[in-house]
Amino acid sequence: MPEFDKIVIFGVGLIGGSFALALKKAGVVGEIVGFGRSIATLTEAEKLGIIDRIGIHPGQECADADLVLLATPVGQMPAIMERIAPYLGAQTLVTDGGSTKSDVVAAACAAFAEKVGRFIPAHPIAGAENSGAAAARAELYAGKKVVITPLPENTRLDIARVRSAWEWCGAEIHELPPEKHDRVFAAVSHLPHLLSFALVHGLAVREDAELFFSYAASGFRDFTRIAASHPEMWRDICLSNRAALMTELDRYRAQLDEIRTALSTANGERLEAIFASARAARKDWGKQ
């Protein structure tokens, strides 16, 4: 008897598809039903064995599901929540894979109302620059962090059930309040993506862009790898977490201003001090 008889996934690309493959590999799910905006993607996911079948009516499928995963861009989640809220079964739990949490929690409170305790927010800290069903892989979450941001209305038993699903994927589970989650990830995830997109775009719109790209080597490739990420997903993330992200962007601009001042005044001692501090912090983090 599998731990989860039926799981419904909205969004069967990298995040949702990898979740499905990992649970199938672990042998803990009986059936996985997929929903999405593109019939081509859903058909591909079915052919790849990510889902067992394509869902037709979200309400009917969610009524007897053990777990529903929202793995779409965060901007799509409120509409999905509103659509499935009236049909949630008595034992159905809902979780998500969104990179922002405060906005998703607010949408869940509005859509699920007195049923909001059935929604256990989560954020898997794993990904790749490629997206879509073909990018999904069962090992994506192995050894990676998943942050659960519990609500006061969640029971420990329901949180444990969602934890279990991610643990079967091989993930390490952590917990943070939604607001602290968004503040942390604005700095260590959302800002780096914003900077990477900005650098590549800034070069791409130059008249002699091909010249610059032709000489770009491994350092540029490493720094800008994440600029190949899904534009719609990152648009939604940036807008959803814009207050915290703007705070971090202002901090970064202040750091750039300090470096610019050191350059303009030929203050090599200050530059070296900044670089040495950054190097030490990066090496310490790399040992973790």
Residue 247 phi, psi (nearest 5):
-60, -45
User: Per the structure block, which two tokens stand in for 47?
Assistant: 């052919």
Contacts with 33 (C-beta within 8 Å, 6 or more apart), sequence order? 6, 7, 8, 9, 51, 52, 53, 54, 55, 61, 65
Q: Find tokens 């260590």 and name the residue.
A: 188
User: Per the structure block, which two tokens stand in for 107?
Assistant: 């949408």
pLDDT given for residue 128 in this prediction: 65
pTM for the complete prediction? 0.86
pLDDT digits (tens, 9 = 90+) for 142-164: 999 999 999 999 999 999 999 99
Contacts with 204 (C-beta within 8 Å, 6 or more apart), sequence order? none
pLDDT given for residue 133 in this prediction: 82
pLDDT given for residue 129 in this prediction: 60
If one counts every other C-beta atom within 10 angstroms of the C-beta of residue 191, the result is: 21
Give the span between the Cα atoms of 240 and 14, in whole angstroms. 21
pLDDT digits (tens, 9 = 90+) for 7-64: 999 999 899 999 999 999 999 999 999 999 889 889 999 999 999 999 999 988 999 9
Give the span between the Cα atoms of 8 and 179, in whole angstroms. 27
User: Per the structure block, which two tokens stand in for 72?
Assistant: 């779409």
Low-confidence residues of the chain: pLDDT under 50: none
User: Per the structure block, which two tokens stand in for 175?
Assistant: 């917990």
pLDDT given for residue 235 in this prediction: 93
Sign of the C-alpha dihedral, residues 164, 165, 168, 174?
negative
